[in-house]
């Protein structure tokens, strides 16, 4: 009799596990469908030449849906999502562009960072999903050879496309020194850029020129079953302005004594490497 009861209990347990697994899989499918729809609804590939396609974001349409959109990230590893900025780091942890629950959550900027990307280091968070979505495929950058083949990522903002060159890949604890985003002056920031290399997972051989602003991408990873943070940092390498926009605009740079916005002259696809 005991064996019979145990057998029934095991069958019920197996059924429960199957139901939970199917429910989880359904949440993943729904999340993927939502982001596929967002990509189709708010962006398009525009042909600018016979060989070149340009990525276009409908910012006005996005802002009508959610005023918290501050950019759009594209990475060779697979990330292709809007970037949001909430009032807290919990707001978009499991919430999508439409304000609905989403197991993938959203890609979002650290709530304490400025919305206008004016900080020397802007931190962006994204989940490490098992299916590789969001920042789930950023683990590819733990291989130095992958970084060599895919050295950049792009962040589209209303005023242009900002191309970032990856200079650092780290596995660290959350909230540690690499997450510093504000500095009193240029000297302290240059010191940070030097010290943060001590946390590198490997030597990329790349340094940040002239105290350029950076972006820090953060997601979870596991080392020997211990939860850590996989962090990828890139500095602004290039700014591609959208067709028809004025050539003169404000670009955030570091001055000698403080951080400030200085008006600079740029041309389309100008390299600032």
| Domain annotation for the chain: domains and CATH numbers | 45-271 (2.40.260.10)
- The number of CA neighbours under 13 Å toward the Cβ of 212 is 22
- Residue 265: phi, psi to the nearest 5? -90, 130
Contact 66, 83 (CB under 8 A): no
- Residue 152: phi, psi to the nearest 5? -125, 160
Output the pLDDT for position 25.
Answer: 53
Beta bridge partners of 101: 95
Q: Which of 17, 85, 94, 220 is catalytic?
A: 220
Task: Tell which residue, 148, 156, 167, has the closest CA to residue 42.
Answer: 156
Contact 43, 56 (CB under 8 A): yes
Burial, 88: exposed, middle or buried (Cβ in 10 Å; 0-12, 13-18, 19+)?
exposed
- Rounded distance between C-alpha atoms, residue 233 and residue 141, angstroms: 11
Output the pLDDT for position 8.
Answer: 56
Tokens of 118: 């004016």
DSSP string covering 10-46, please?
Answer: HHHHHHHHHHHHHHHHHHHHHHHHHHHHHHHHHEEEE
Give the helix ranges, DSSP H, for the chain: 2-42, 59-65, 144-149, 186-195
Contact 194, 186 (CB under 8 A): no
- For residue 127, indicate whether it is catalytic: yes
Q: Which of 19, 85, 94, 127 is catalytic?
A: 127
Give the CA radius of gyration of the chain: 21
Output the pLDDT for position 7.
Answer: 55
Burial, 169: exposed, middle or buried (Cβ in 10 Å; 0-12, 13-18, 19+)?
buried
Q: Which residues of the chain have pLDDT under 70?
A: 1-28, 47-53, 243-273
Q: What angle do CA 160, 163, 168 make, to 5 degrees?
A: 145
Pairing of strands 69-75, 43-47: unpaired
Burial, 248: exposed, middle or buried (Cβ in 10 Å; 0-12, 13-18, 19+)?
exposed
- Rounded distance between C-alpha atoms, residue 12 and residue 5, angstroms: 11
């Amino acid at each position: 009799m005991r064996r019979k009861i145990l057998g029934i209990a095991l069958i019920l347990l197996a059924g429960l596990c199957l139901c939970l697994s199917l429910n989880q899989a359904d949440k993943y499918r729904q999340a993927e469908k939502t982001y596929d729809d967002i990509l189709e609804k708010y962006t398009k590939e525009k042909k600018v030449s016979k060989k070149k396609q340009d990525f276009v974001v409908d910012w006005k349409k996005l802002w009508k849906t959610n005023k918290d959109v501050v950019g759009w990230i594209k990475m060779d590893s697979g990330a292709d999502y809007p970037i949001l900025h909430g009032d807290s780091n919990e707001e978009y942890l499991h919430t999508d562009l439409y304000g609905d629950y989403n197991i993938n959550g959203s890609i979002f900027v650290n709530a304490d960072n400025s919305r206008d990307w004016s900080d020397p280091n802007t931190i962006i968070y994204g989940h490490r999903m098992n299916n590789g979505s969001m920042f789930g495929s950023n683990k590819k950058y733990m291989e130095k050879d992958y970084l060599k083949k895919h050295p950049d990522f792009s962040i589209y903002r209303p005023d242009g496309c900002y191309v970032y060159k990856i200079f650092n890949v780290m596995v660290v604890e959350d909230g540690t020194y690499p997450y510093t985003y504000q500095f009193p002056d240029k000297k302290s920031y240059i010191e940070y850029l030097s010290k943060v290399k001590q946390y590198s997972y490997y030597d990329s051989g790349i340094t940040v020129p002239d105290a350029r602003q950076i972006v820090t991408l953060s997601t979870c990873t596991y080392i020997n079953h211990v939860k850590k943070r996989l962090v990828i940092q890139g500095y602004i390498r290039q700014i591609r302005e959208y067709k028809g926009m004025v050539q003169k605009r404000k670009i955030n740079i570091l001055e000698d004594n403080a951080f400030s916005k200085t008006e600079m002259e740029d041309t389309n696809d100008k390299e600032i490497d």
